[in-house]
Amino acid sequence: MSDGADITLLPADEADIWDVLAWRNQPHVRDNMYTADPISRDTHEAWFSAALADPARELWIIAVNGTKCGLVTLTDIVRTPPSSCSWAFYIGDLGVVGKGVGSAVETQVLDRVFATLKLDVLRCEVLAFNAPVIGLHKKFGFEQSGRIENRITRDGDGIDAICLELTRERWRARQEA
């Protein structure tokens, strides 16, 4: 699907609020987040308006051929050296997932973080069972920097989170290779 598709990242605004909640509450998204329970409209409303107003965050909407279908969040943005941020993303439309859109989005996110925002380090945390996404990040040069044991408990079991990190230096070296 990603071949020839127009995949763009748009700045999120107030009008996106209920689309974002609908995507975030999809079971295939919730299952891979730290909080798997469905999120209420009130909770989401408070989170979304605070997130839009937070200078340490950026929210970008993923659009495929003009149709909005997912969210990228940058969090904990530190703009002074050593600069860094963390990120996460999801696509709410199961018809889109698994067809290469995520890879195209990751290419654009890295470009924005390292070439546009010029941050030094990009980090993320992925639940240990989410092997496809850990593999996706490693394909882009992320390396494991840590492991948080029992980051969440689900159905009585502790689940670890894998910490991944990519530096601008490594990203640039891979661009030039």
Ligand X SMILES: CC(C)(COP(=O)(O)OP(=O)(O)OC[C@H]1O[C@@H](n2cnc3c(N)ncnc32)[C@H](O)[C@@H]1OP(=O)(O)O)[C@@H](O)C(=O)NCCC(=O)NCCS
Among the listed residues 69, 133, 162, 163, the single contact to ligand X using CB under 6 A = 133
Integer CA distances (angstroms), 117 to 110, 141, 155, in order: 10, 19, 40
User: Which tokens hold the place of 113?
Assistant: 């973080």
Contacts of 69 (CB under 8 A, 6+ apart): 23, 62, 63, 91, 92, 93, 96, 101
Q: Is 19 helix (H, G, I), strand (E, B) or coil?
A: helix
Q: Would you say 21 or 29 has its CB closer to ligand X? A: 29
Report the candidate in 26, 35, 72, 76 with the shortest Cα–Cα distance to residue 159: 35
Among the listed residues 27, 28, 65, 173, the single contact to ligand X using CB under 6 A = 28
User: Could you give the CA distance from residue 173 to residue 149 in angstroms, rounded to a whole number?
Assistant: 32
CB of 54 to ligand X, least distance (A): 18
Note whether 126 binds ligand X by CB under 6 A. yes
User: Could you give the CA distance from residue 111 to residue 122 in angstroms, rounded to a whole number?
Assistant: 11
Note whether 162 binds ligand X by CB under 6 A. no
Note whether 95 binds ligand X by CB under 6 A. no
CB of 142 to ligand X, least distance (A): 12
Q: Would you say 38 or 169 has its CB closer to ligand X? A: 38
Q: Choose the stretch contacting ligand X; rule: CB under 6 A; options: 39-47, 135-143, 144-152, 168-176.
A: 135-143
Binding residues for ligand X (CB under 6 A):
28-29, 32, 88-91, 97-103, 126, 130, 132-133, 135-136, 139
